[in-house]
A and B are shown apart, each in its own frame.
Chain A
Amino acid sequence: MQVTLRIKRFNPDVPEFQKPTYREYQVEVEPNDRLLDALNKVKWHHDGTLTYRRSCAHGICGSDAMRVNGRNRLACKVLMSELGTKVTVEPLIGFPVIKDLIVDMEPFFEGYKSVKPYLIADDAPSAGERLQSPEERARYDDTTKCILCASCTSSCPITWTNKEFVGPAAIVNAHRFIFDSRDQGAAERLRILNQRSGVWRCRTVFNCTDACPRGIEVTKAIEEVKRALLFDEVQ
C-alpha cells in the first residue's frame, strides 16, 4: 500500500530545516510493516538526512518513541495497517529537539536518576540469595517492565509546562523499588517524591497509562506512591 508520511523536520545544519517544517514522503509499504520500516525506507532510499533513534526494532530497547498521529508510540511497535494512509510523525513533545525526531533525553534521565533508581539495602546475605515470596515479587512486577522510552513522561501535560516535575517514568522507577520487599530506601525516595517536583504535581490525567508501550499501569503506580505518602505506609 502507498502511504504518505508527513514528518516534522528540523536540522540546525541545513538552512531549509532551521525552522521546523513538515515534509511529505510517499512510500510503498506492506500493511504489517512497522512504522520504523517505513522511516527506514525514506532514510535509506530517498533522504539520508532524515534522523531518528532506533535499535532493537521490536519494542524492547526504548529508542524510537515518537509522536505518531498525535499519540506517543514506539515506531517499531506500531504497524502501518493501524495508521491509515496519511501518517503524521513528530518528535516527542516536552523536550528540546536536537534534529528531526531526536529530542534531548538528558532532562529525562536526570529525572530518572533523581529518585535513586537502585536497590538500597546493606544486608546482602553471606550465602545464597535474599528471599522473596512470589507474592512479594508480584507486588512490583508491573513497574519492572519500564524501558525508559519517555513515552509516558512526554505525554503528561504537566511536564509540558513544569520543567521541575520528575515525570511519570521517574515515579514508575521509584515505585519499582519502594514496593520491593528487599529494599530499604523507601523513606528516602518518598521524601524526594513528596517535594514540589514530586508526585503531587500529577493530576491523574491517565495520558501516561495510555502512552506506555509496555502496558504498565503508570497512573496506578503514581497513585500507590501518593497513598504511601498519605498514609505513611508502603503496602
Chain B
Amino acid sequence: MAYHRFDAVIVGAGGAGLMAAIQLAGKANIAVVSKLYPPRSHTGAAQGGISAALGNVEEDHWEWHMFDTVKGGDYLVDQDAAEILAREAIDAVLELEHMGLPFNRTPDGKIDQRRFGGHTRNYGEGPVRRACYAADRTGHMIIQTLYQQGIKHHVNFFDEHFLVDVLFTEDGICCGVVTREIKTGELHVLHAKAVLIATGGFGRVFKITSNALAGTGDGIAIPYRLGVPLMDMEFYQFHPTGLYKLGILLSEAARGEGGILRNSEGEAFCARYAPTLKDLAPRDMVSRFIYQEIKEGRGIDGKDYVHLDLTHLPEEVIDQKLPDITDFARTYLGVEPKKEPVPIQPTAHYAMGGLPTDVDGRVIRDEQATPIPGFYSAGESACVSVHGANRLGTNSLVDLVVFGRRAGRHMLKYIQENSLPPLPREPELRARAEIDAILSRKSGIRPVEIRTAMQEVMMDKVSVVRDGRGLAEAQEKIQGLKRDYASVAIDDRGQTFNTDLLEALELGYMLDCAEAIIVGAIAREESRGAHYRTDFEQRDDKNWLAHTLVYRTSGGIQVRKKPVTITKFEPKERKY
C-alpha cells in the first residue's frame, strides 16, 4: 500500500474535476485521480454546445436562460442554483475562450451561437441562439482545453487509478480516498482535507445508452453505500436521437441547425405535439413523442425507431457544423445523411440526480442541507439541482464549468481554514476485503450475465415510460441480481492491469445506482420531466414539488423529501 498526503483530492478528470483543479493548482497541494487518461473523459463526447446569454447574434438575457432552465426542468429546479448557472455561464464561457477554446466565430470575430432545445427568447416566445459551440465537438474542445490548462499549471495527475473507497472520520468528516493503481494493482491511500467527486454519470445501467463504458457511477455508489443520500435519482434523461440500436449520440444541434424528425408516414410529428418549438422541444418531451409515434404504429417499417432528416440542409452546414455526427451515421449505419434520413431512437443519456450539493459543491446529508465537512461533488455526479426533472441541452457543460469552478474555489477556502483530519485505522481494509473476495472466488456467476440482465430490465421497465407494476418487477429483479453479485466470479486473478476485476467492481456500483433510481421512481407517484408514469400521468405539485433523498440505512432503504427552492418563477403548466 502507498500513502500520500494532499490538501485536496479530485476524483474524475472530466470538465468539472479539471475546472475545480485549475482553481486549486499552484495554491494548494492537490491530486487529480482518473480511471482513464483525463482527455478520455466523457465530457469529450459532448457535441452541440454550451449555453450562455452572451447575446452575440441576437438579443438574450441571463434571466431568459434561467427561466428556460427552470421550465425545462419542470419546476423541480432549485432556482437559486439556476440563477447562478445562468449568470455565471457568461463569465465561464469567456474564461474558456481565454484559456484557448476554439469556438466557432461570427463574421465580426465573436463567439458564434446557435439554437438548442428548450432555449427561448423572452420567456418562451420562440427559439433563441444561445449555444456557443466548436463545430459538433464542443465537449472535445472543453476537455482538451482544460487538460491543457492542467498541464500548464503542473497539476499532479494520478492517471489510470480506480476509485475503490471514500474515507470518513468517525465524526463524518471526509478525509480521503482509496484507489487501485490499475497498472500494478497496488492500493493507494490519498489522505486529504477535502475530496471532490466528479466521476460523471451511470448511463451504463441501461441497455441503450450514449454513455461511455466508463459511465458506471463509481463516485456516487460508494458514498451511497456509506449512508450518504442520493437525490432525484428517478430523473434520468433519454436523449431523443441516439443511433438506432447503438445509442451513439446525434446532437440536438442537428435539429438546432434545422433537422426534422419524421415518422413512417414522413410526417414531421413534433409539430403536432409542440406547435411553438416543434423539434426543439425539451428532450424528455421529444423522447415521449417518439415513444408515442412508435406505440401508435408509426415507427419506420413498424419497428421501434424513427428518422432524423437532414437531407434538406445545405451541404456546407453538414460539413462545417455537424461533421462528426454525420460521420457517425456513415461509419456505424452506412447511412449518408446528405441523401437519406438517419434511423434514431431515444438513448439513455444523462443523470439529473446524484450526490445532493449546495451551490458551492458541498455534499449535503439531509433536508436541511447540512454539509458533510470536506466532501464535495460537481458535474453529472452531483445534483445541485439546476436540471430538476429534465436537463436542457448544453446545460450539462454549463453545469461543469460553473459548479466545478465554484466547488474548486470553496475547497480552496476550506483547506486553508481546516486542518487534516485523522484517517480511520487501516483505511484500505474495506476496499481490500471487497477486492480479495472477488479475486479469491473460484467459481460463480460471470459479470456479463448480471450486467446484461440489469441493463435489460432497466431499459424495459425504468426508461422513457414507467408504471408502478413494472417498477416493482424491476426492483425485485435488481434485488435478485444483487444477491447473484455476491457470488460474481472473474477469470483474471492477476495484479497487472486487471480490467476484469474493475468491470466487476463497476457492476457492483451500477447495481446500487439502479436500486436508487427504482426506489425514487416508485416513491414519486406523479409524472414530471423525464419521470413519466402511466399510472400517475399528471404532475402533482401539491405532494411532489419536492426532491427525493434516497438513503441506505441499517433498517433498509428510506426515501425523504427535500423542499424545492423557488425564487422568481412560480410553477406553471409546461407547454411549448
Q: Which chain B residues border A56 with CB–CB below 8 Å?
A: 40, 42, 44-45, 212-213
Q: Which chain A residues border B292 with CB–CB below 8 Å?
A: none
- Tell me the complex Cα distance, A32–B324, Å: 19
- Tell me the complex Cα distance, A80–B370, Å: 53
B105 A98 Cβ-Cβ under 8 A:
no
Contacts of A121-173 to chain B: CB distance below 8 A: 121, 124-125, 128-134, 136-137, 140-141, 144-148
B496 A11 Cβ-Cβ under 8 A:
yes
CB of A87 within 8 Å of the partner chain:
no
Q: Which chain A residues border B248 with CB–CB below 8 Å?
A: 57-58
CB of A105 within 8 Å of the partner chain:
yes
Among B23-31, B145-153, B568-576, which stretch is in contact with chain A? Answer: B145-153
CB of B339 within 8 Å of the partner chain:
no
- Tell me the complex Cα distance, A171–B525, Å: 57
A129 B110 Cβ-Cβ under 8 A:
yes
- Tell me the complex Cα distance, A57–B45, Å: 10
Q: Which chain A residues border B495 with CB–CB below 8 Å?
A: 13
Q: How large is the interface on A (under 10, 10 to 19, 20 to 34, 35 or more residues)?
A: 35 or more
CB of B556 within 8 Å of the partner chain:
no
A141 B37 Cβ-Cβ under 8 A:
no
Contacts of B201-238 to chain A: CB distance below 8 A: 212-214
Of B109, B331, B498, which one neighbours A132 at CB under 8 angstroms? Answer: B109
Of A13, A57, A129, A182, which one neighbours B496 at CB under 8 angstroms? Answer: A13
- Tell me the complex Cα distance, A106–B310, Å: 42
Contact with A along B485-526 (1 / 0, CB 8 A): 000001111111111100000000000000000000000000
B39 A129 Cβ-Cβ under 8 A:
no
B36 A45 Cβ-Cβ under 8 A:
no
Which residue of chain A has its CB nearest to the CB of B499? A51
A141 B102 Cβ-Cβ under 8 A:
yes
- Tell me the complex Cα distance, A135–B279, Å: 32
- Tell me the complex Cα distance, A62–B39, Å: 8
Contact with A along B94-122 (1 / 0, CB 8 A): 10011110111111111100000000000
CB of A16 within 8 Å of the partner chain:
no
Of A14, A34, A144, A177, which one neighbours B494 at CB under 8 angstroms? Answer: A14
B491 A144 Cβ-Cβ under 8 A:
no
**Could you tell me the distance in whole angstroms from the C-beta of A194 to the nearest C-beta in chain B?**
21
Q: Which chain B residues border A51 with CB–CB below 8 Å?
A: 492, 497-500
**Could you tell me the distance in whole angstroms from the C-beta of A76 to the nearest C-beta in chain B?**
9
CB of B140 within 8 Å of the partner chain:
yes
Q: Which chain B residues border A128 with CB–CB below 8 Å?
A: 94, 110
Q: Which chain A residues border B334 with CB–CB below 8 Å?
A: 32
**Could you tell me the distance in whole angstroms from the C-beta of A81 to the nearest C-beta in chain B?**
9
Q: Which chain B residues border A140 with CB–CB below 8 Å?
A: 102
Given A12-B496, A61-B45, residue A137 in contact with residue B102 (CB < 8 A):
yes
Contact with A along B130-174 (1 / 0, CB 8 A): 000011010011001000110110000000000000000000000
B37 A119 Cβ-Cβ under 8 A:
no
Q: Which chain A residues border B36 with CB–CB below 8 Å?
A: 53, 55, 61, 63
CB of B273 within 8 Å of the partner chain:
no
Q: Which chain A residues border B500 with CB–CB below 8 Å?
A: 43, 48-49, 51
CB of B332 within 8 Å of the partner chain:
yes
CB of A28 within 8 Å of the partner chain:
no
CB of A93 within 8 Å of the partner chain:
no
CB of B341 within 8 Å of the partner chain:
no
Q: Which chain B residues border A49 with CB–CB below 8 Å?
A: 491-492, 494, 500
CB of B529 within 8 Å of the partner chain:
no
- Tell me the complex Cα distance, A102–B37, Å: 13
CB of B448 within 8 Å of the partner chain:
yes
Contacts of B379-412 to chain A: CB distance below 8 A: none
Which residue of chain A has its CB nearest to the CB of B451? A44
- Tell me the complex Cα distance, A105–B37, Å: 9
- Tell me the complex Cα distance, A61–B41, Å: 7
B109 A131 Cβ-Cβ under 8 A:
yes
A59 B39 Cβ-Cβ under 8 A:
no
B140 A147 Cβ-Cβ under 8 A:
yes
- Tell me the complex Cα distance, A77–B104, Å: 26
A144 B100 Cβ-Cβ under 8 A:
no
B213 A99 Cβ-Cβ under 8 A:
no
Of A43, A124, A132, which one neighbours B98 at CB under 8 angstroms? Answer: A124
B37 A109 Cβ-Cβ under 8 A:
yes
Q: Which chain A residues border B110 with CB–CB below 8 Å?
A: 128-129, 131
CB of A183 within 8 Å of the partner chain:
yes
A118 B45 Cβ-Cβ under 8 A:
no
CB of B333 within 8 Å of the partner chain:
yes
Given A45-B446, A55-B214, A99-B496, residue A147 in contact with residue B39 (CB < 8 A):
yes
A180 B100 Cβ-Cβ under 8 A:
yes
Q: Which chain B residues border A188 with CB–CB below 8 Å?
A: none
- Tell me the complex Cα distance, A131–B56, Å: 12
- Tell me the complex Cα distance, A146–B148, Å: 13
A44 B152 Cβ-Cβ under 8 A:
no
CB of B289 within 8 Å of the partner chain:
no
- Tell me the complex Cα distance, A90–B324, Å: 27
Contact with A along B326-356 (1 / 0, CB 8 A): 0010011110000000000000000000000
CB of B447 within 8 Å of the partner chain:
yes
A62 B149 Cβ-Cβ under 8 A:
no
Contacts of B393-444 to chain A: CB distance below 8 A: none
CB of B469 within 8 Å of the partner chain:
no
**Could you tell me the distance in whole angstroms from the C-beta of B101 to the nearest C-beta in chain A?**
9
Which residue of chain B has its CB nearest to the CB of A62? B40
Contact with B along A105-125 (1 / 0, CB 8 A): 100010001001111010011
Q: Which chain B residues border A24 with CB–CB below 8 Å?
A: none
Q: Which chain B residues border A130 with CB–CB below 8 Å?
A: 97-98
B45 A148 Cβ-Cβ under 8 A:
no
Of B39, B40, B109, B151, which one neighbours A118 at CB under 8 angstroms? Answer: B151
A60 B97 Cβ-Cβ under 8 A:
no
- Tell me the complex Cα distance, A77–B99, Å: 31
- Tell me the complex Cα distance, A11–B141, Å: 36
B212 A132 Cβ-Cβ under 8 A:
no
Given A105-B37, A131-B109, residue A144 in contact with residue B141 (CB < 8 A):
yes
Which residue of chain B has its CB nearest to the CB of A135? B105
**Could you tell me the distance in whole angstroms from the C-beta of B13 to the nearest C-beta in chain A?**
12
- Tell me the complex Cα distance, A146–B496, Å: 29
**Could you tell me the distance in whole angstroms from the C-beta of B40 to the nearest C-beta in chain A?**
4
* In the A-B complex, the 10 residue pairs with the closest CB atoms: A119-B100, A13-B494, A48-B491, A131-B109, A118-B148, A48-B500, A44-B448, A61-B40, A118-B152, A49-B492
A-B contacts, 8 listed (Cβ < 8 Å): A13-B493, A13-B495, A61-B42, A62-B40, A63-B36, A98-B496, A129-B103, A133-B105
- Extra contacts, 19 of them, besides A13-B493, A63-B37, A183-B100 (Cβ < 8 A), are A11-B494, A12-B496, A13-B495, A44-B446, A48-B490, A48-B491, A48-B500, A55-B36, A56-B44, A60-B324, A61-B44, A119-B99, A125-B98, A129-B103, A131-B105, A132-B109, A136-B109, A141-B102, A146-B144
